[in-house]
């Protein structure tokens, strides 16, 4: 299966007074064009669409809807992980991606198992589901950001899963990594709290699992987690970063 990942759009960012939306939009649509060109089986968003309280958040939400619709028209389902910049810490469980559950796909608000047929599905809580057909599929474990108001223990969640190791497993998360050299985005764009990837638990229980993460803006692999990276260079400290999207074949 061909998978395309895009993450950390931050479509509401302004750098030293310069609105970056147009640049972000261009990078995002490049990932969509590529997914369609290679006839990707699934498109994943790794979190951090925008901050919910900014006056520019509506443009980012509009962009997410456009991407979901374009991919759906091309027959490519999309799955949207909630990041630390997306959540609304008022106890409601709200976030910037929640409207995608109505158009065109369905929200999965609680830990659950489901067949991933609906495009535009939002991953706001830890969950396991399958993507594909009964002959060609992958198991997906989603580990979204852990807001204070809707907290969960990533290690406990992983240890409680029962997934057959004979079939492909993808773990996609928007969590922190212990020991990683954090980029300038952690100082220039801080939001939320630190909760760490359960990498040891994943390696012990699902030794062949592929781990893919959002949150960090520099494309890299750290402790077995492939970091998607941002779609644009958003701070001065990111000038050397490779930006764009990630393609994997499982």
Q: What is the pLDDT of the chain when averaged over all its residues? A: 87
What value does the mean pLDDT take over residues 73-87?
Answer: 94
β-strand 121-123 against 78-81: which pairing, if any? Answer: parallel
Q: Which H or E element spans position 201?
A: helix 199-205
Region of 45 please: left (phi>0), alpha (psi -120 to 50) or beta.
beta
For 140, phi then psi, to 5°, come to: -115, 125
pLDDT at 186: 67
pLDDT tens, position by position, 160-209: 999 999 999 999 999 999 998 776 676 667 777 889 999 999 999 999 99
120 pLDDT more than 80: no
Q: Model-level pTM?
A: 0.90
- Structural domain harbouring 214: 2-249
Q: Considering its fold, how many domains does the chain have in total?
A: 1
Mean pLDDT of 117-146: 84
CATH number at residue 67: 3.60.21.10
């Amino acid at each position: 299966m061909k998978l395309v990942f895009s993450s950390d759009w931050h479509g509401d960012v302004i750098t030293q007074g310069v609105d970056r939306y147009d640049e972000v939009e261009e990078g995002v649509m490049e990932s969509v064009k590529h997914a369609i060109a290679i006839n990707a089986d699934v498109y994943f968003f790794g979190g951090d669409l925008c901050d919910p309280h900014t006056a520019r958040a509506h443009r980012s939400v509009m962009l997410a809807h456009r991407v979901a619709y374009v991919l759906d028209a091309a027959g490519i389902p999309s799955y949207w992980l909630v990041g630390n910049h997306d959540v609304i810490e008022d106890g409601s469980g709200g976030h910037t991606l929640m409207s995608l559950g109505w158009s065109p796909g369905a929200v999965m608000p609680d830990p659950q198992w489901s067949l991933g047929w609906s495009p535009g599905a939002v991953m706001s809580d830890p969950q396991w589901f399958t993507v594909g057909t009964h002959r060609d599929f992958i198991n997906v474990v989603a580990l979204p950001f852990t807001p204070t108001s809707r907290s969960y223990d990533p290690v406990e969640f992983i240890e409680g899963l029962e997934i057959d190791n004979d079939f492909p497993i993808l773990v996609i998360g928007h969590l922190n990594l212990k020991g990683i050299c954090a980029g300038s985005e952690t100082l220039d764009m801080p939001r939320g709290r630190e909760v760490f990837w359960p990498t040891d638990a994943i390696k012990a229980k699902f030794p062949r699992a592929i781990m893919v993460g959002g949150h960090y803006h520099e494309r890299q692999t750290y402790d077995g987690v492939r970091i998607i990276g941002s779609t644009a260079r958003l701070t001065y400290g990111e000038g050397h970063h490779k930006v764009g999207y990630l393609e994997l074949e499982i």
